[in-house]
């Protein structure tokens, strides 16, 4: 129970938590009935910057979700042009984070950060397809030990105004390690190597550092998902 309640807070959140707490105190001093609103906003800020530990599957070949949220799009697209990878399309999986998701992002595979490219842009709703093209973003290319390139892109959203990336080119990292976060609601796209199909489906909830997005060693075709209605009460 303590692990559920006492979730670690990412250090990037403490300045905001202090600001929210001071504003809440000021609201209470100016107009006491606003005390509850100030408390709720401060608690929400604490909740937003939570940074729980995750149990990452470590088998070779697994591609792990870099973000918490809903698998909002699976399609084919070329990686961001600033990475210089050409126009060849790859399977792209987009994970949309709302303001209640954990926003700490995690590395999807073991390997070396071979390129990082930031591009300024707009702040359209991150759930829109055109957000991948027009919104502010941070694109990272990671090269695995066997020479495969996996691209993951932090995309700012309608509310998000700050992308944080804590790694740098040349860093050797492991799947599940924290590499950055996006402040307040956004999206992360991941581009898979050619011939690799996703093991997630549209509408599925992904957990950063835990959910297996794809497997280099799998020959399974793209999965289909559906909502199963009803229940079984044990009777025949």
Closest CA to 20 of 47, 39, 48, 7: 39
Distance CA 214, CA 92 (A): 11
Active site residue 132: no
Phi/psi zone of residue 19: left (φ > 0), alpha (ψ -120 to 50 degrees), beta? alpha
- For residue 172, what are the β-bridge partners? 112
Distance CA 152, CA 175 (A): 12
Integer angstrom CA distances of residue 13 from 8, 36, 97, 108: 11, 21, 17, 23
**48 token code pair:** 């937003």
Which of 60, 114, 186, 218 is labelled catalytic? 186
* Residues forming the active site: 186
């Amino acid at each position: 129970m303590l692990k559920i309640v006492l979730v670690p807070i990412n250090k990037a959140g403490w300045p905001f938590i202090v600001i929210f707490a001071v504003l809440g105190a000021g609201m209470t001093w100016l107009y006491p009935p606003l005390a509850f609103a100030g408390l709720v906003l401060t608690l929400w800020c604490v909740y937003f910057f939570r940074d729980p530990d995750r149990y990452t599957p470590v088998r070779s070949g697994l591609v792990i979700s870099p973000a918490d949220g809903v698998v909002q799009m699976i399609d084919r697209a070329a990686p961001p042009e600033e990475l210089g990878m050409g126009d060849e399309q790859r399977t792209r999986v987009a994970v949309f984070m709302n303001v209640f998701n954990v926003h700490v992002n995690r590395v999807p595979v073991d390997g070396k950060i071979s390129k990082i490219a930031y591009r300024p842009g707009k702040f359209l709703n991150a759930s829109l397809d055109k957000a991948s093209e027009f919104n502010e973003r941070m694109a990272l290319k990671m090269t695995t030990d066997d020479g495969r390139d996996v691209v993951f892109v932090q995309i700012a959203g309608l509310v998000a105004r700050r992308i944080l990336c804590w790694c740098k080119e040349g860093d050797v990292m492991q799947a599940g390690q924290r590499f950055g976060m996006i402040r307040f609601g956004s999206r992360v796209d991941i581009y898979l190597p050619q011939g690799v199909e996703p093991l997630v489906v549209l509408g599925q909830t992904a957990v950063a550092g835990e959910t297996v997005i794809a497997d280099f060693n799998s020959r399974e075709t793209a999965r289909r998902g559906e909502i199963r209605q009803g229940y079984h009460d044990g009777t025949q």
